[in-house]
């Protein structure tokens, strides 16, 4: 098998490619602004829906729950760029789960769709889930939570999940 190498386009090709690159940049900027607006709007809609159902947890309560010895934090991540939602359930997800749990990247594989569906229906679904949506905390505090997610006994108390619709898109 022969490895592909980069294509050399030379100085004339570079000049011809420049307008295309400028056009692509001009199109991508408005697209990114619209995508960010839609993501924020969808987050507000989800928060309002969960609040109406009494399924919202304040940040300070979430931090206290992490310090306790029970429950599981669920980090629902659609992609590396987001959106990312934090959920809390007083249940131990690892004890209740009938499927194998793996890391977030592996969860994108179609064979883990049953786990994604189970987790969504039982915990993170706005219609049928039981987990509480965690209100966002102060800026910069979210990424530092990783160290709090593990209990003193070393048992995992958090899991990153992929929503089922993302797994289905990967088919």
- Banded pLDDT at 146 (limits 50, 70, 90): low
Domain spans of the chain, in order of start: 10-52, 54-169
> 116 or 157: whose pLDDT is higher?
116
How far is the CA of 86 from the CAs of 44, 98, 142, 161, in angstroms?
14, 22, 9, 10
pLDDT at 40: 92
Asked whether residue 152 carries a pLDDT value surpassing 50, the answer given is: no
pLDDT at 103: 75
Asked whether residue 16 carries a pLDDT value surpassing 70, the answer given is: yes
pLDDT at 150: 52
Q: Which two tokens stand for residue 53?
A: 């159902």
Specify which of 16-25, 104-113, 161-170 reaches the highest per-range mean pLDDT: 16-25
């Amino acid at each position: 098998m022969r490895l592909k190498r980069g294509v050399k386009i030379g100085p004339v090709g570079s000049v011809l490619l420049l307008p295309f690159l400028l056009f692509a940049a001009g199109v991508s900027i408005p697209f990114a602004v619209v995508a960010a607006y839609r993501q924020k709007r969808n987050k507000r809609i989800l928060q309002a829906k969960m609040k109406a159902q009494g399924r919202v947890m304040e940040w300070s309560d979430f931090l206290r729950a992490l310090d306790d010895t029970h429950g599981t934090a669920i980090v629902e991540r659609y992609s590396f760029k987001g959106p990312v939602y934090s959920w809390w359930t007083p249940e131990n997800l690892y004890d209740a789960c009938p499927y194998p749990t793996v890391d977030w990247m592996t969860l994108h594989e179609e064979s883990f769709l049953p786990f994604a569906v189970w987790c969504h229906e039982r915990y993170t679904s706005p219609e049928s889930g039981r987990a509480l949506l965690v209100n966002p905390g102060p800026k910069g505090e979210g990424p530092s939570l990783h160290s709090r997610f593990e209990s003193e006994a070393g048992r995992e108390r958090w899991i990153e999940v992929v929503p089922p619709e993302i797994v289905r898109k990967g088919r």
